[in-house]
Amino acid sequence: MTEHRNAKRRNFAYYMHVNDETTKEVVGTILDVSAKGFRIDSHRPLPINQDFRFRIDVTNEVAKDKSFIKFVARSRWCKLDMTDPSLYDAGFEIMSISSQDYEIYQRIIEKYSSKDAW
């Protein structure tokens, strides 16, 4: 797979779900993050190049006045997890997010991810 990413990924050290904004169903759990996107593990394969409306519930450690952030992210790839064949790994690029929610997303990266690139 050719690398197209231009923002460094960082390992994520917090168990945080990504939910479908409409159905509230868990789509996956964040594995790593960058300023422009993230990778999740999911129990089902996800279609590639599709826009998803996501919601992430957040703690008051990163957002004092909000309990969640919402955004649109496009799936860029999806494949079977190399260590657990019951899971799928999927990469997403954030396509649309409010400036307030992006500030919270940046705080999530700073608070819950490693400082070392993946």
CATH number at residue 24: 2.40.10.220
How much is the pTM?
Answer: 0.87
Residue 32 lies in a domain: yes
Residue 4 lies in a domain: no
Q: 18-28 in b/e burial notation, b at 16+ Cβ within 10 A?
A: bbebeeeeebb
pLDDT interval class at 53 (50, 70, 90):
very high
Residue 3 lies in a domain: no
Task: Please tell me the total number of residues recorded for the chain in this structure.
Answer: 118
Q: Which amino acid, one-letter code, is at 81?
A: D
3-state secondary structure of 105: helix
**100: pLDDT strictly greater than 60:** yes
Q: Name the domain count of the chain.
A: 1
Instruction: State residue 43's pLDDT score.
Output: 97
Phi, psi of 20, rounded to the nearest 5 degrees: -65, 125
